[in-house]
């Protein structure tokens, strides 16, 4: 720890300068025990504001920074630590004679340990505070101290996370100093802390200006966990989430109640399942995903019936699938879930009886997304989604849930009320199927889907082959226009009586004529739902 040299603080003589630690934290978890431990080791504590008050209230001796700098706090506390006696103490290098001499001539004492975390900017934004209040939570002195300490990591231990207090104290007690390995680890964490903080400020300012795609885009996330591996065993992986808790249900902020560790593929499939079940807040819905593709979607007044219906659509694919439900799982539904091998289930909540039933499935991953998922008005917020490409990043608005369709009937025959309900259901589902997406449904359940093909007619053939006789009288949705009538002919041959698609092809008139030829009702939405 540099300035301790070969003696621990406990053994300091009066002839030597005291070993200083500076504590200034907004997150006060573990502060008092940490400070008490430092005092036992012989540190003299410097502190500011609320941190100083908390220490004094606990009877921990600490000196006010202004006493140490011999300069008053000014501008309503905006300037406290921006002083040569602080930053000189943090940046001074004991192995350089010139630094030691300059510090001595200016009355600057070295600071060996810094515990700082920053003003609660994100929490203030989330509270809905005014712009003036949010701006006051832009920390200046804190990041400066963290960065100075981290830069001088060879001689200063910087702690930004209260979860590190215990390990740092234990190392000091055992070895009289922190190791270079520890200081390097804490240095990396410190720079990540200030970088994420600055990213939050930048992103908030861009949002305030209505600028979703600024010239410089910085994304900041915190790690949830390391993964055993990525998509395949030879790939490394980790799971990260945003710093601020979003208003809508998410996989990243769901509670894992039981089961094996989540895998990379589990997380992607859970996100796909959750996104689709959020399309249907009005009534109980069950979604089953396999390899990021819906293989079962159903609505019913009863959640367990919706799940059984969804599972029956393709029981082979449902085996080993991922399930999303939008109402609390009760005992009856849990018993139905336990009948089939599943990888994971995500739901708003689980009753105590349901958890007891599912506890027998020790490897089944259960995620609780929170009661917002069960809300009849639940909808994902409009937000950005990002995908990495070699050497870059692609950002776009999320393909958010649409209001009721203002569609255009272009065929001679308009859809019946039942067909209209089926078309709306199919349209909501098709945007969650890989393009070129073809979805057959009735008004309450998926019947068959085909997607991820290089030809739309191939997707139609695949879906028709899966659905068989169940497609008689169905609705069909296409995520983009039919480039030729062959895809529509396949849908009609399979038994679809109505079709919904964006339109916009140079052959629209040919497609409309084909629909009339088949006696189908055709609706154009003017909206495309590609999903690559």
Catalytic positions = 151, 291
Sort strands 321-325 and 342-347 into parallel, antiparallel or unpaired.
Answer: parallel
SS (H, E, C) 328-360: CECHHHHHHHCCCCEEEEEECCECHHHHHHHCC
**What does each C-alpha distance from 99 to 91, 103, 201, 203 come to in angstroms?**
9, 6, 35, 39
N-term to C-term CA, the chain: 52
450 vs 452: CA distance, rounded Å = 7
Tally of residues, the chain = 532
81 vs 87: CA distance, rounded Å = 8
Q: Which residue is associated with the tokens 């088949």? A: 518
243 vs 197: CA distance, rounded Å = 10
Q: Which tokens is 221 given?
A: 């996330």
Cβ(386)–Cβ(394) below 8 Å: yes
178 vs 181: CA distance, rounded Å = 8
Which residue from 336, 318, 348, 326 is spatially nearest to 277, judged by alpha carbons? Answer: 326
* Sign of the four-CA dihedral 310, 311, 312, 318: positive
Do you find a cis peptide bond into 456, omega within 30 degrees of 0?
no
Cβ–Cβ contacts within 10 Å for residue 240, how many? 12
Q: Quick one: residue 199, left, alpha or beta (phi over 0 = left, psi -120 to 50 = alpha)?
A: alpha
Which residue from 322, 318, 350 is spatially nearest to 335, judged by alpha carbons? Answer: 350
């Amino acid at each position: 720890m540099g300035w301790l040299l070969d003696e621990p603080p406990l053994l300091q003589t009066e002839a030597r300068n005291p070993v200083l630690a500076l504590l200034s934290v907004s997150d006060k978890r573990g502060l008092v025990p940490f400070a008490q431990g430092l005092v036992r080791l012989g540190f003299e504590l410097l502190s500011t504001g609320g941190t100083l008050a908390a220490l004094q209230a606990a009877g921990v001796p600490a000196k006010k920074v202004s006493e140490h700098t011999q300069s008053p706090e000014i501008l309503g506390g905006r300037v406290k630590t921006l002083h040569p006696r602080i930053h000189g103490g943090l940046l001074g290098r004991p192995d350089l004679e010139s630094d030691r001499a300059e510090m001595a001539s200016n009355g600057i004492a070295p600071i060996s340990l810094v515990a700082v975390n920053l003003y609660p900017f994100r929490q203030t934004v989330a509270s809905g505070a005014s712009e003036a209040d949010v701006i006051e939570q832009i920390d200046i002195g804190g990041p400066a101290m963290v960065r100075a300490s981290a830069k001088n990591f060879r001689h200063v231990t910087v702690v930004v996370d209260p979860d590190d207090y215990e390990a740092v104290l234990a190392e000091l007690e055992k070895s009289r100093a922190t190791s270079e390995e520890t200081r390097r680890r804490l240095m990396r964490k410190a720079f990540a802390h200030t970088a994420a903080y600055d990213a939050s400020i930048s992103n908030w300012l861009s949002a305030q200006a209505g600028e979703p795609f600024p010239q410089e885009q910085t994304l900041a996330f915190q790690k949830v966990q390391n993964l055993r591996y990525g998509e395949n065993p030879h790939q490394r992986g980790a799971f990260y989430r945003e710093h601020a808790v979003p208003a809508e249900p998410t996989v990243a902020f769901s509670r894992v109640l039981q089961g094996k560790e989540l895998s990379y593929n589990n997380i992607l499939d859970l996100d796909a399942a959750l996104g689709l079940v959020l399309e249907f807040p009005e009534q109980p819905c069950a979604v089953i995903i396999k390899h990021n593709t819906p293989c079962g979607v159903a609505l019913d007044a009863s959640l367990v019936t919706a799940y059984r219906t969804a599972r029956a659509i393709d029981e082979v694919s449902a085996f080993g699938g991922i399930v999303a439900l939008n109402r609390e799982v009760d005992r009856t539904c849990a018993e139905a879930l336990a009948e089939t091998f599943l990888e994971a289930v995500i739901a708003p909540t689980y009753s105590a009886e349901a958890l007891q039933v599912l506890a027998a499935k020790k490897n089944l991953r259960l995620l609780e997304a929170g009661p917002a998922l069960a809300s009849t008005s639940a909808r994902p917020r409009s937000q950005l989604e990002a995908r990495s490409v070699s050497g870059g990043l692609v950002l776009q608005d999320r393909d958010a849930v649409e209001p009721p369709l203002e569609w255009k009937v272009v065929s001679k025959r308009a859809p019946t009320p039942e067909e209209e309900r089926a078309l709306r259901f199919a349209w909501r589902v098709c945007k969650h199927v890989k393009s070129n997406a073809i979805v057959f449904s009735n008004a309450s359940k998926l019947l068959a889907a085909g997607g991820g093909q290089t030809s739309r007619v191939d997707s139609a053939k695949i879906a028709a082959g899966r659905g068989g006789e169940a497609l008689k009288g169905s609705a069909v949705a296409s995520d983009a226009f039919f480039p030729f009538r062959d895809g529509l002919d396949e849908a009609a041959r399979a038994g679809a009586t109505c079709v919904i698609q964006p339109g916009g092809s140079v052959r629209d008139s040919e497609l409309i004529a084909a629909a009339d030829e088949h006696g189908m009702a055709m609706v154009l939405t003017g909206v495309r739902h590609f999903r690559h």
